[in-house]
Amino acid sequence: MDTVIVKGSEMASVIKAKLKEEVNDLFPKPQLAILLVGDDEESRRYVRLKEKAVDEIGGQCRAINLPENTTLVELLGQIRELNADPHTHGILVQLPLPGPLATEQETVLSSLSVVKDVDGFHPFNRGKLFSTPPFLVSCAALACMDIITMYRNPRGLLTVLVGDSFDLVQPLALLLMARGSRVCIIPEAHEWEEVAARADVLVVEKGRPLMVKADHLKPGALVIDAGFHWEAGRVCGNVDPMSVTGKAGWLVPVPGGIGPLLIAKLLENLLTAYREQVFAADDW
């Protein structure tokens, strides 16, 4: 079977070109604030990718790098300032938070202004997924949903999600359920093989580098790699692309798959947040 390699980076370019046109007519320009605590190399790399993407569509991006030893009170103070700043339309707190702040993640996410929460991580926005329509939704889940619905009608399909994250697996499960998919969640990459072998759509967030091989797949499956492992400065995913090519119907690879597309979805969320704040305010 021919395997289609899904180019998330090309889908992202199409979205960004459309957003760029829209932003061209907007004054003030949409502005995203990114809060990065500490200097983790991987996180800094992701922040740079996001800054570049905002720049590409003609928006403004402020990356604020706080020291590793920032206290919860200081971080909440910074967020409160950004919440109140009318020039800031979107706020993103880069995760994971370092050290002792990691256990305060929910407190931090809860302190974000709901309309500026471009990640869709505020508990209100996560809860809104149980309602129709939701408001700001996690970019990773939106990216997967875009790809799945581009190639398949989810209704009745067996969709297997390996992982349990609040930023991908939980929201994606709800979006797929709403579309009539038979969703199966395997929280850890442990005894996942039996169910995965029957999956029409397989999303693998948790796992080990190159863990998924051809033998694990139903022929023709749509396979989305959502694992990012850094080894010697290079990124690789949970799916072995060499192995699954010829067995999968579609492969969304790492790199060049879900990653670039999720950043494009972040830009869409920034525009949603912007419209909500700037245009909704005009209505008064």
Ligand X SMILES: Nc1nc(=O)c2c([nH]1)NC[C@@H]1CN(c3ccc(C(=O)N[C@@H](CCC(=O)O)C(=O)O)cc3)C=[N+]21
Among 98, 123, 209, 256, which residue interacts with ligand X (rule: CB under 6 A)? 256
Query: Considering the rule CB under 6 A, would residue 260 count as an interface residue with ligand X?
Result: yes
52 sits near ligand X (criterion: CB under 6 A) = no
**Smallest gap, in angstroms, from Cβ of residue 197 to ligand X?**
26
Residue 154 touching ligand X (CB under 6 A): no
Q: Nearest to residue 65, comparing CAs of 36, 34, 32, 40?
A: 36
Please, which residue, 167 or 200, has the CB nearer to ligand X?
167
The distance of closest approach from Cβ of residue 150 to ligand X in the complex, given in angstroms and rounded to an integer, is: 18
Active site residue 50: yes
Secondary structure (3-state) at 164: coil
Q: Please pick, among 78, 116, 119, 206, the residue that the annotation labels catalytic.
A: 119
Helices (H) and strands (E) in the chain, counts: 10, 11
* Sign of the C-alpha dihedral computed for residues 156, 151, 14 and 253 taken in this order: positive
- Asked if 2 is an active-site residue, the reply is no
**Residue from 94, 116, 167, 218 carrying the catalytic annotation:** 94
Q: Annotated binding residue at 164?
A: yes
For ligand X, the closer CB: 157 or 210: 210
Helix (H, G, I), strand (E, B) or coil at 42: helix
SS3 (DSSP) at 91: strand
Query: Which residue lies nearer to ligand X by CB, 10 or 215?
Result: 10
Residues 212-231 contacting ligand X, CB under 6 A: 228
Stretch that binds ligand X, among 58-66, 97-105, 185-193, 258-266 (CB under 6 A): 258-266
- Within 8 A by CB and 6+ apart from 126, the residues are 120, 166, 170, 171
Residue 156 and residue 186 in contact, taking contact as beta carbons nearer than 8 Å: no
The burial class, CB within 10 Å (0-12 / 13-18 / 19+), for 133 is exposed
Q: Judge whether 165 is annotated as a binding position.
A: yes
Member of 104, 235, 243, 276 binding ligand X (CB under 6 A): 235
Backbone phi and psi for residue 159, each to the nearest 5 degrees, phi listed first? -110, 120
Closest distance to ligand X from the beta carbon of 26 (Å): 23
- Type of residue numbered 126: R
DSSP 284: -
Nearer to ligand X, 112 or 217 (CB): 112
**Taking CB under 6 A as the rule, which mask of x and - marks residues 84-113 in contact with ligand X?**
--------xxxx------------------
Closest to 106 measured CA to CA, from 142, 97, 77, 43: 97
Annotation marks residue 119 as catalytic: yes
HSE-CB for 105 with a 13 A CA cutoff: 11
Least Å from the CB of residue 156 to ligand X: 30
Edge-to-edge strand list for the sheet holding 222-225: 4-5, 250-252, 222-225, 201-204, 158-162, 182-186
What residues are paired with 65 via a beta bridge? 36
Q: How far is the CB of 257 from ligand X (least distance, A)?
A: 6
Residue 139, interface with ligand X (CB under 6 A)?
yes
Catalytic sites, residue numbers: 50, 94, 119
**Site of interaction with ligand X (CB under 6 A):** 45-46, 49, 92-95, 119, 139, 228, 235, 254-257, 259-260, 262-263
Annotation: binding site for NADP(+): 163-165
